[in-house]
């Protein structure tokens, strides 16, 4: 199954690849050159399909747990000062997504969306220390009765040129449901209360909607 954000790109890419292959078939005489072009377009199309895949995840909804919003690798676990919303210290867990990871963003907890904002910005590499403050990004805060307020931030990387955010202030959301999508490489920061019990470690691979990254 493919994410709705990729439907137009998948269709356009298919047509473009077919056109390239058709032109190569009629105008290139050397068989090996045509076969090389055909192979390249097939590989490219498969990569596009892989990027926009949207596997179904059976999230076990639990208000005591915070699940990873995305697939990827944990690259940061540290105490930081959060400037935008809380304006105090929080525990930050950051997950880096490579271009081959699933790029669907899922709600890490169930609850009410208290804050949702888009910020235009730069396209520094996702692991750059200033990317969470200077890159294109969206910030969402969800609150429930057990965990309180949890903030998560989609951050564009050097390749990502568009962030999609579905969270709307005031709506009730379910843990593990779609919250957004980041196109082509990025990072997600999760900002937790200082007393949260972190359940992941640096360099650990996590799955969006499945891996528990912290609990109360």
Residues with active-site annotation? 186
User: Is the distance from CB of 146 to CB of 64 less than 8 angstroms?
Assistant: yes
d(CA 66, CA 110): 9
Instruction: Report helix angle 7-27 to 31-51, nearest 10.
Output: 180
| Residue 170: φ, ψ to 5° | 95, -15
From the list 111, 112, 104, the residue with the least C-alpha distance to 68 is: 104
Please give the full DSSP string across 86-104, using - where no structure is assigned. Answer: T-EEEEEEEEEE-TTS--E
């Amino acid at each position: 199954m493919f994410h709705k954000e990729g439907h137009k790109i998948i269709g356009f890419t298919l047509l473009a690849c077919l056109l390239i292959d058709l032109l190569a078939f009629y105008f290139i005489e050397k068989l090996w050159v045509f076969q090389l072009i055909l192979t390249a377009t097939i590989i490219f199309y498969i990569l596009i399909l892989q990027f926009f895949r949207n596997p179904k995840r059976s999230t076990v909804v639990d208000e005591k747990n915070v699940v990873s919003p995305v697939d990827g690798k944990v690259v940061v676990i540290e105490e930081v000062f959060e400037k935008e919303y809380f304006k105090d210290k929080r525990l930050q867990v950051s997950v880096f997504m490579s271009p081959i990871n699933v790029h669907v963003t899922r709600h890490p907890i169930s609850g009410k969306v208290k804050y949702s904002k888009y910020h235009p910005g730069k396209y520094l590499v996702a692991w750059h220390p200033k990317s969470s403050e200077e890159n294109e990004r969206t910030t969402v805060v969800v609150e429930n009765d057990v965990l309180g307020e949890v903030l998560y931030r989609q951050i564009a990387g050097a390749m990502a040129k568009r962030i999609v955010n579905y969270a709307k202030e005031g709506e009730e959301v379910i843990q593990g449901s779609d919250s957004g999508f980041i196109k082509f490489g990025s990072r997600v920061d999760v900002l937790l209360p200082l007393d949260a019990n972190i359940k992941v470690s640096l360099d650990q691979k996590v799955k969006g909607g499945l891996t528990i990254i912290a609990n109360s």
